[in-house]
Chain A
Amino acid sequence: MAGEAGNIKVHIDNVKKTYQGKHGEVVALNGVNLDIKDNEFVTVVGPSGCGKSTLLNIIAGLLEPTSGEVICNGHKVEGTGQDRGVVFQQYALFPWLTVQKNVEFGLNMKGIKGEEAESIAMKYIKMVDLEKFRNHYPKELSGGMKQRVAIARAYAANPEVLLMDEPFGALDAQTRTQLQQELLDTWEKEMKTCFFITHDVDEALILGERVVIMSARPGRIKDIVVNDIPYPRNQETKMSPRFLELKNQIWAQVYQEYLEIKK
């Protein structure tokens, strides 16, 4: 199913997006070009409002670009598709479904039902360590557990590209670290192309093979930093000189953008 390594999975071609706001037109993205390779883990950082979510929603097919296009798997993106999964910051679990039924939702949409759906769902529920909670409703879970369910749900639908919009943004530092580790483990096990938005430069560097830095007004790609720190990475990686070097390099650019916005 997944193409050969090095193949282009997602091709973002000169994407522009303008919103019709109350105070006139907002250019959220302008001239965004990016190629994401098959099985690559790309992280995206940038100041608030620079258009990260907008870009993710366009790749997901939830938003249409004003001009330009996104090619995924060689096909132009028009609407959502089961080759692309999304994990939202607000978890977006269906509160009326149990953990297991939430994870089965995407499978049901593909026509996979009953025992088959259950066994696939259970595999991913085990992966995120929530077996004991399979029959619980989302309201009975902590924030970290909810996000685990959301990740399991996205994985169970077996997309080739996983789009994540600050999935750990609302979590405390420890839970976040733990989920980062789990996400990396899973990514290494079930190769998928990942597009991961974050505010946190550390998070971007622990996870990504490349870190895309975006600039604001209009949102465009300012720089792409290749993160050559080998996997497996863990918390100790954050102490390594190379990590600190890259972190400074990225942080300087992001900080410049913050200043730019303040002006």
Chain B
Amino acid sequence: MAEKKKEGKLSEKAKSRIWLLLSFLAAVALWTFLSVLPQTARSFPNIFVTLGQIPVVIERGILWKDLSSSLISVGAGYALGFVIALPTAILMAWYRPVRNIIEPWIQFIRNIPPLAYVPLIVIAAGVGRRPQIIVITIATFLIMCITMYQGIINIDETLIKAARVLGAKDKDIFLRVLAPASLPFILTAVRLGASVALTTLIAAESTGAFAGLGMRIRSFNNNFETAPMLLYIIIIGVIGITIEKIIKLMERKLTGWQEKREI
């Protein structure tokens, strides 16, 4: 009985693998189709031409430079965004005045595309690494702070009561109830933040960066070099999905006790 169940599960896994493969093949087919269609052929060089650009961009000495530059900006901005978002979210959940003042700001800024405020940041912070990090910090802070805050204020109050009647003091409530109860939301925030960090890359690197995936895409665009441009776009996608997979794995390890998964 138990074995049968296991078998069923395995084939379920195999099935999803097959679907993934099919999805991938369909994407390649669509891509190939676009590469022969006259209207789109120029923007979509076929898969061999595109992947053939890998040695070229390595030879030109730009791939590693761009990759490392972007990863540094994204990593630093994202880390900074997290470090600011976590205590802000906790303070917002804890103190009503903090919440009432800050929440409208966040809601307001959140809907503005980062590209719109980039010039202001460049004027204030100059060009180079600094404005890139600032743009990513702002964008990731906004999404992470709001996600964590929503999670923390929705923690079931009876859990806190239950802990209190069992003798928990404030410190225990914080460490043994609020912290584990908010962990799922923190991880969700981390995942959404990573995605925002990457989608903000182009805006961040439009601040006069000297290297970077986003900056390079713009410069390829100016020279009508569609093949390396497409390659870079795919590289960003691969980085994104890899980070997401890693965080999902972490979520499963750390919050497997959860009733249901959201978002």
- A-side residues, CB < 8 A to B, are 60-62, 80, 82, 84-86, 88, 90, 92-97, 105-106, 109-110, 137-139, 153, 157
Contacts and interface: CB of A to CB of B under 8 A. Distances in A.
B259 interface: yes
Given A62-B161, A92-B159, A153 B181 contact: no
B181 A139 contact: no
Contacts of B181: 96
A8 B169 CA distance: 28
Interface of B: 156, 158-159, 161-169, 172, 176-177, 180-181, 183, 255-259
A80 B259 contact: no
Given A82-B167, A110-B167, A153-B166, A92 B257 contact: no
A92 B161 contact: yes
B76 to A, nearest CB: 31
A94 to B, nearest CB: 6
Contact of B180 (A84, A85, A96, A137): A96
Given A88-B158, A94-B159, A96-B180, A60 B259 contact: no
Contacts of A138: 257
B158 A92 contact: yes
B166 A62 contact: no
11 contacts: A84-B165, A92-B159, A92-B161, A92-B162, A97-B257, A105-B163, A105-B166, A105-B168, A137-B257, A138-B257, A139-B259
Contacts of B256: 137
A24 B67 CA distance: 62
A109 B161 contact: no
Given A86-B162, A96-B180, 5 more contacts: A82-B167, A85-B166, A88-B162, A95-B259, A106-B167
Nearest to A109: B167
Contacts of B162: 86, 88, 92-94
A33 B256 CA distance: 47
Contact of B165 (A85, A94, A137): A85
Contacts of B168: 105, 109
A129 B169 CA distance: 30
A106 B158 contact: no
B159 A157 contact: no
Contact of A80 (B167, B172, B177, B183): B167
B167 A139 contact: no
A62 B257 contact: no
Highest count of chain A CB atoms <10 Å: which of B165, B172, B180: B165
Given A105-B166, A106-B166, A94 B177 contact: yes
